[in-house]
Structure 1
Amino acid sequence: MALPVQKNNRYTYAEYLTWFEDKRWELLDGVAYNIAAPSRRHQEVVGELFYQIRSYLDDKPCRVYAAPFDVRLREPEQEDEQITHVVQPDILVVCDESKLDEKGCLGSPDLIIEVISPTSISLDYVKKLALYEKYKVKEYWIVHPIDQTVMVFYLGDDRQYGKPGIFTEDSQLKSRIFADLEIDLQQVFASP
């Protein structure tokens, strides 16, 4: 694997844009992470979640996107090129169209979904959880395809994530930010 970055360096969005297009990268606090190609099972779960959410949003103003799709999280007054947080969630929903541009999303999506894989566990459960809370992502779902569970973190009135809701394959996942959105997890985790 040819890496365009060196270990222990910090990078910006401007540098990120110059890297090889045949690899997927994320920046978390300026640290570059190469994203491995997802497994077939991962893609099946992402596909079904995307389908159910897209169907729900059909007549609504919000938009749903799947990776690869850059989400740039920046500090106030920070120029686009200086951004040090660029993520590619498996699925995201954006309801404020002013956050969307030709490069992706600039600012926090309303909903982010990460389907974990063996190589992404610590990023999804620790680093991204803290990052999404800091940037006020209203809902963050961590989907575990092997255990067939979903942890849903909700941004509380105190602007922090509390204890997550935990949903299993035999339950209906209900969103708090989309009052009538229910995800059929039995369908999401169904084996082909």
Structure 2
Amino acid sequence: MPMTVEEMKRQKRMLGYTYDKIAELSGVPLGTVQKIFSGVTESPRYDTLQALEKAFKSQEGDRIEEAAAMYRARQQGNYIIEDYYALPEDRRAELIDGIIYDMSSPTSVHQLIGAEIWEQLKSYIRNSKGKCVPMLAPLDVQLDCDDRTMVQPDVLVVCDRERIHMNCVYGAPDFIVEIMSKTTRKKDSILKLNKYMNAGVREYWMVDPESRKVVVYDFAHEEYPVIYGGEDKVPVGIFEGECKVDFGEIYEYMNFLYE
């Protein structure tokens, strides 16, 4: 059986292939390649899949081993996105300015807060028929559009849909939320704060489940930091305050975890 489309997508990401490169190696027309990998063609023909497979099978082993060897040879501060993609699939990490930061698995509190914030943002955007897109981790964000940084914000909103690609967001989101823990507090409040501000993120929230505080940096309106409590309805600056995230409702829903 030939590789599945999902398997090919993973190899495309690992090898850094463009649609043009896949078309060149497989002999499949570029338009067909684009339709299959974008999901427009949901059930590609068997012979087309066999042809596409050649693009990955021919050089797969050499390229993956080469990427892994390069990763082993580099040191912190010099890693690039190719090294990031060469990491084992079960290793959660971010790449920031050439440094790889390992990420622990999120807690139940972390996941519920992120999901609830996303749900309230999504409801507002849909009800107001907005064009912005709310998204959740894990999702790669190529923040600086270079090869030295790839982050995975907990919650993000992207208003320029051209920045949303099949495998990542390319460029700075408009709005980012990071849900802090003891292990991420320093990175979220210092390193990422500066990265997001310099990259052009319009608004950044740091949510602390332990203290139930929300620290808001509204870079676009030059209003920061503003600190809210766990009972507050926090206005979203990118929507001119018309959308408010109700943290009282969120924590009330989650009370069973704090008992």
Deviation of residue 12 (structure 1)?
A: 0.7
1:104-139 residue CA offsets vs partner (Å, 9 max, x unmatched): 100010000000011100100000000001101000
Instruction: Tell me which residue corresponds to 2:95.
Output: 27
Instruction: Tell me which residue corresponds to 1:91.
Output: 155
Q: Which has the higher strand share?
A: 1
Inter-partner Cα distance in structure 2 for 1:99 and 1:8: 28
Deviation of residue 162 (structure 1)?
A: 5.0
- Work out whether residues 163 and 170 of structure 2, in 8 Å CA contact, stay in contact via their aligned partners in 1: yes
1:181 corresponds, among 243, 249, 252, to 243
Structure 1: stretches of 5+ with no match in the other structure: none
Aligned partner letter, 1:186: G
- Work out whether residues 92 and 113 of structure 1, in 8 Å CA contact, stay in contact via their aligned partners in 2: yes
Instruction: Tell me which residue corresponds to 1:69.
Output: 139
Instruction: Tell me which residue corresponds to 2:177.
Output: 113
Deviation of residue 8 (structure 1)?
A: 3.1
Q: How many residues align?
A: 180
Which is bigger in relative contact order (C-alpha 8 A, separation at least 6)? 1
Compute the TM-score of the two structures, normalised by the length of structure 1.
0.88
Inter-partner Cα distance in structure 2 for 1:150 and 1:7: 35
- Work out whether residues 144 and 172 of structure 2, in 8 Å CA contact, stay in contact via their aligned partners in 1: no
Deviation of residue 164 (structure 1)?
A: 1.0
Compute the TM-score of the two structures, normalised by the length of structure 2.
0.66
Inter-partner Cα distance in structure 1 for 2:124 and 2:148: 33
Structure 2: stretches of 5+ with no match in the other structure: 1-70
Secondary structure in 2 matching 1:43: helix
Residues 103 and 123 of structure 1: CA distance in aligned 2, closer, same or farther (over 3 Å): same
1:145 aligns with 2:215: no
Residues 7 and 40 of structure 1: CA distance in aligned 2, closer, same or farther (over 3 Å): farther
Secondary structure in 2 matching 1:189: helix
Inter-partner Cα distance in structure 2 for 1:8 and 1:72: 18
1:57-111 residue CA offsets vs partner (Å, 9 max, x unmatched): 1121111111100110225xx5xxxx11111000000000111111210001000
2:229 corresponds, among 168, 172, 177, to 168
Deviation of residue 43 (structure 1)?
A: 1.1
Deviation of residue 7 (structure 1)?
A: 5.8
Inter-partner Cα distance in structure 2 for 1:18 and 1:7: 14
Aligned partner letter, 2:162: S
Inter-partner Cα distance in structure 2 for 1:108 and 1:178: 17
Aligned partner letter, 1:88: Q
- Work out whether residues 133 and 157 of structure 2, in 8 Å CA contact, stay in contact via their aligned partners in 1: yes
**Which one has a bigger Cα radius of gyration?**
2
